Amino acid sequence: MARIRWRGPQESRIAYIDFRFKGRRHVISTKTSDKKIATQILHDIQGKIARGNFNLDEYEKKSLRMSEFLAQYFPYAESWKAKGTVEGEKIYTTTLMKLIGDPDMRSIDVQSLDHWKARRLEAGISPTTLNIERRSLHSMFNVAKKWKYVDDNPFTSVKIMSVEERRLFMTANELNLFFAAVRKRIEETKHALLRESRQLLCLYYEFLLNTGLRREEGLRLKRTNVDLNRNAIYIEKTKDKDSRIIPLTPRAREILISLDDQMFSRLSKQTVTRQFGGFLKDAGLQGFKLHSLRHTFATALVEREVDVVTISKLLGHSDIKTTMIYAKMQLSVMQSAIEKLVSLPSHGYKMVTNGGGSGGG
C-alpha cells in the first residue's frame, strides 16, 4: 500500500512516497511540501504500477535544489574560469533565484524561465544584457546536464532576443573629440596630484587603443612584461587563461617609456571606467564604453586588411568566432571589397521581352 510520509521540520517538510515495487520497499522524495502535488505523484506511481509501466529509474535520478547545485558548481568554475566571469554568473543566478525561488533543478521549465525573462525586461535591462545573462546561465546548466542533474538544458528553450545592430567602434573624428575632452579636463585641473592622475588616465586610454588590451590587462601590466628590445609586451593570465605577445606601435612604445615602474597600477578599474564615461559626456558622445577602444583597435586592423587569424591572436581570443564579432567592418571596407569584383568578365547577356505581356504556353 503506497502512502505519503513527511520528513523534515514543519516549516520546510518534504513529502516522500513510501511504496512496494517488485517485492521491495522504496521511499522516494517528491521534492515538494505541497500536499496536493505529493498526492498527485502518489496516484501517478500507483497507476503506473497497476498498468505495469512503472519505471523506478525515472524516480531515482540524481536531483537537488538549485542552491545545492550552485554550491558544487562555483568551486568547479573558479578552477578554470576567469574571476570576472564567475562573479557575473553569481550575480545572474542570484537574480534568477529571486524571481523563481530555489526549485529542484529538474522542475525548472519553460514557464519558469518565461517568467524570469519577462521580469528582467520589466526591470529595464536591454536585450543585449538579457542575451548575456541567458548565455551564461545556459553554459552553467550545460554543466548540470553533464552531471546528470537535469536531462535537458531548460535555457535552450529561451530564444535569443534580436538586437538592433549598432556600431561598437569609434571613428577617427570621435576619437579626436574624446581625447580633446580629456586634454581639456587636464588643462583645467589645478590640483597637482589630480592633474597627474588624469594625465595617466589619458595615457592609459591611448595605450588600450594602440594594443587592444582588456581593461584589467592594462592595469596589471608590469615592467617585467615589457621587452623594448623586441618591441613587444607579454600578456599573462588573460581571460582565456593563455599568454600572448603584442608588438608595440610607435605610440604604445612611447607611452611605456614615459611611465615609471608602477605603470598603470595606480589606477583602479572603477576609476578608468567611470572617468571614461565622464569624458564621453564632455565630448558629446553616446553609445560607447571603455571596451569600445578594444573594438576600435580590432576594426582598425580589419580596415587595413589584416587577416582575422592574426587579429584573433592579438586580441587573445580562443575562438575565432569571437574575433568576427569584435572586428566589425565599416560599410566602406565592405564596399571596397565588392568593388574588386568590377574586373569580373561580362557575358553580355540581357533579358529579352516580347512586349506583349504575359502569354500562355
- Residue 163 within any structural domain of the chain: no
Q: Is 226 a residue whose pLDDT tops 80?
A: yes
The confidence band for 242, taking pLDDT boundaries of 50, 70 and 90, is low
Do 107 and 51 have their domain in common?
A: no
Reported as a single tens digit per residue, the pLDDT across 90-105 is: 999 999 999 999 888 8
Count of the separate structural domains present in the chain: 3
316 and 176, same domain (yes or no): yes
195 sits in which H/E element: helix 192-211
Residue entry with cell 628590445 = 229
Q: Is 162 within the bounds of a domain?
A: no
| 11 and 131 inside one domain | no
Could you report the per-residue pLDDT of 138-194, keeping only the tens digit for each?
Answer: 999 999 999 888 889 999 999 988 866 567 789 999 999 999 999 999 999 999 999
Indicate if 50 and 79 belong to the same structural domain: no
Same domain, 30 and 81: no
CB contact burial 96-109 (16+ within 10 A = b; e otherwise): bbeebeebbbbbbe
Query: Where is the domain boundary, 16, 36, 59?
Result: 59
In this structure, is residue 301 part of a structural domain?
A: yes
Domain that residue 240 falls in: 172-337
180 and 153, same domain (yes or no) = no
- 76: CATH: 1.10.150
User: Is 357 domain-assigned?
Assistant: no
72 shares a domain with 40: no
The confidence score (pLDDT) of residue 73 equals: 94
**320 and 211 inside one domain:** yes
In what helix (H) or strand (E) does residue 194 lie, and over which residues does it extend?
A: helix 192-211
| Model pLDDT, residue 334 | 52
- Domain closes at, from 11, 38, 59: 59
For residue 309, pLDDT beyond 60: yes
Q: How confident is the model at residue 360 (pLDDT cuts 50, 70, 90)?
A: very low
**Residue 104, beta-bridge partner list:** 65
Let me know whether 127 and 183 are in one domain: no
In-domain check, residue 342? no
- Mean of per-residue pLDDT scores for the chain: 84
Domain-embedded: residue 183: yes
Determine, yes or no, domain membership for 331.
Answer: yes
Q: Are residues 42 and 85 in the same domain?
A: no
Q: Is 16 helix (H, G, I), strand (E, B) or coil?
A: strand
Whether 202 and 314 share a structural domain: yes
From the list 102, 106, 101, 105, the residue with the least C-alpha distance to 119 is: 101
pLDDT exceeds 60 at position 358 = no
Residue 85 included in any domain? yes
Q: 92-97 long-range CB contacts below 8 Å, 24 or more apart?
A: 92/133, 92/136, 92/137, 93/66, 93/137, 93/140, 95/120, 95/133, 96/66, 96/137, 97/66, 97/67
How much of the chain is helix, strand and coil, in % rounded to 5? Answer: 55, 10, 35
Give per-residue pLDDT as tens, 275-298: 999 999 999 999 899 999 998 998
Give the span between the Cα atoms of 53 and 164, in whole angstroms.
51
Let me know whether 242 and 327 are in one domain.
yes
